[in-house]
Amino acid sequence: MTLEEKVGQIMMTDARSEDLSFITTQQPGSILHILGAKIDRAMDLAAKNRLGIPLLIGEDGIHGHSFWKGATIFPTQLGLAASWDPALFEQVGRVTAEEMAPTGIHWTFSPVLCLTRDLRWGRTGETFGEDPYLIGEFGAALIRGYQGKGLADPTAVLATAKHYAGYSETQGGRDASEADISRRKLRSYFLPPFERAARAGAMTFMTGYQSMDGVPSTANHWMLTEVLKQEWGFQGVLVTDWDNVGRLVHEQKVCATYTDAAIMAIRAGNDIMMVTPQFYEGAIEAVRSGRLAESEIDAPVRRFLALKFRMGLFENRRGPDLARAAVEIARPEHRAVNLAAARESLVLLQNNGLLPLDPAKVKSIALIGPNADDDLQQLGDWSLGSPQHPPEAGKHPREKTTTVLDGIRALAPAGCAVKYARGCSIIDDDLTGIPAAVAAAQAADVVVAVVGDHLRFIGEGQSTATLELQGGQIALLDALEKTGKPVIIVLVNSKPLVLPASAKRAAAILEGFNSGMEGGRAVAEAVFGQLNPSGKLTISIPVHVGQQPVFYSQVRGQHGERYADLTQEPLFPFGHGLSYTQYRYSNLRLASPTLARGQAATVTVEVENVGARAGDEIVQVYVSDVVTSATWVNKALKGFARVSLSAGEKKTVTVTLPWEAFQLVDVESKRVVEPGSFEILVGPSSRDRDLLKATLRAE
């Protein structure tokens, strides 16, 4: 290969333009943001280059084949996480791959393994929440689904573990700000989900936008090469995020020229440079001037070509088969998986007994709120109609999405009237619709108020200074409360929001997050009692934005347990989620009171359904290291189990905790299990008062 061919091969180029001549002039090894028959044209051009190296086609399939019109759009990661169901994650990944692959896409930039910290961050909804263990488990399941039977599987797509690593540790919630993270802190919380992804077979990693300790993620040799490739033995390829090499020059300003940036990026360990056109000339100049050895270019080229060979692209370029794609996205089995995802992701946060509604008592419902019939807000970020794609690309067909209004109307019992009023806007303070909403509420037996956030206030580069309900929503909820009618609040939102006092006094609150195309059906099933909610939060919902950070696994050592003017407890904690039945935990036991080195601990607990209907409970197991050589978290989730129980049924649940579950990261940044006492805490949420306790001693 010539130098020019090598440099081109490790470039990923934006292919949204109709002009694809760059495939001939620069010969990139991969392209992104290209769909449909246009992919065949790009592949044909690549085949005519001197070596005919096949292209690798990437796209943002974040919670479904995001930008393919009519594809199955699932709940966003934060919503799906509330299911606590790795098997479901694997199904979601499989469906997404089956819909992406026949459209000519080989590679999805998912899952996001960032650890949520400041809830103001615009990309909170893209995460699985605040717990490293859960993030690793869910990410591994999604990777299995995407990558199917292996690299040669033509129905599979490459998964991408992103954003490696620490991108979510923001300053003031601002996107891509400097992340103040030590190596010990990285190893303690931020790196474990990525190591889990590497062990699960993820073949691509993507860097973050942030810098740490003065070093941009894309230039971090320790993290990219020493940890990922050498320590973990990662054999795949590492791709930068969008123009990360260019940002070294024009944003972070640690390089004066693109030649400097090319040298820095290559030597740090990056294999593919996403959308930095200037990298081409910069890398060539670096070699020709003698500042960079051509052999340093050879290493990432070799890794990338090896991946293409292992995928069989030289024998089968895996171009689009649009007839097959149309069949895949219309499969009823895919819609069924989506409905299961929406159902399991729904979290009942609060209920005074009103839900499920009694059809004998409820003959009229006022469905109120700006998100009650807004399909774009229900689908959320990274779908057609969201800011990541131009408006001219359109949106997903309206009939593919069941909004809350659609669902309530479809499932309302015979003789139950449903009246809809939007009430207010989220993006402005127009309150002119509130009188009509109040009139509808006054004429109804029950109010269902659907509020939340808007695409304008979420996503990449769109962090918020507040977590309050925007626009006229607080005024709307206050007015609805004053009618005296029972109010059920349904939240359609990307991330946790601070609720006003009128919402906290509501009869019930259902959290749906961005619940995908089937979200409205799931909400309606829950309202009318056809579904017993089983979702549990994987992120804490605060009382006030000033409580940041509010995640459950806090490092011990602060003075006091509250602010002088406010509790430090969240409104709804990690692991919280109610049911239409009740569960009783008892008889927590350990197979052995001691833990021998290298061995696992077996935990059993009895869970009884003491209510009147069947349900699914999520049993959570936490570990607390009583005395540690370095400061450590108060407790950390290390295991969980879903259990289905009929009314009156009792089951013994067993969870095995591996030796690694008892590790901490010591002052030398080494993972160790220190001899001493551990508390095993088991229950329905992370709240201390909800947890049974047993003591284990590690030898």
Cα distance between residue 289 and residue 382, in whole Å? 42
- Helix locations, 370-500, DSSP H: 375-379, 404-411, 434-442, 473-482
Region class of 234: left (phi > 0), else alpha (psi between -120 and 50), else beta = beta
The DSSP letter of residue 187 is: I
Tokens of residue 25, six digits: 């002039």
User: Using an 8 Å Cβ cutoff, are 523 and 558 in contact?
Assistant: no
The strand order across the sheet containing 650-657 reads 583-590, 601-609, 650-657
User: Using an 8 Å Cβ cutoff, are 672 and 656 in contact?
Assistant: no
3-state SS, 296-343, equals HHHHHHHHHHHHHHHHCCCCCCCCCCHHHHHHHHCCHHHHHHHHHHHH
Distances from the Cα of 498 to the Cα of 79, 394, 648, angstroms: 17, 32, 36
3-state SS, 549-605, equals CCCCCCECCCCCCECCCCECCCCECCCCCECCCCEEEEEEEECCCEECCCCCEEEEE
Cα distance between residue 529 and residue 110, in whole Å? 34
Tokens of residue 659, six digits: 């030796």
Q: Dmax of the chain from CA atoms?
A: 83
Catalytic-role residue among 60, 85, 131, 241? 241
String of DSSP letters for 601-669: EEEEEEEEE-SSS-EEEEEEEEEEESS-SS--BS-EEEEEEEEEE-TT-EEEEEEEE-GGGG-EE-TTS
Asked if the bond preceding 47 is cis, omega within 30° of 0, the reply is: no
Helices 473-482 and 434-442 sit at what angle, rounded to 10 degrees? 30
User: Using an 8 Å Cβ cutoff, are 68 and 99 in contact?
Assistant: yes
CB-count exposure of residue 630 (10 Å: 0-12, 13-18, 19+):
middle
Cα distance between residue 578 and residue 510, in whole Å? 10
Asked if the bond preceding 192 is cis, omega within 30° of 0, the reply is: no
Indicate if 241 belongs to the active site: yes
String of DSSP letters for 66-90: TTSTT--BPPPHHHHHTT--HHHHH
Cα distance between residue 269 and residue 246, in whole Å? 16
From 615, 550, 628, select the one nearest 584 (Cα to Cα). 615
Cα distance between residue 186 and residue 192, in whole Å? 8
Annotated catalytic residues are 241
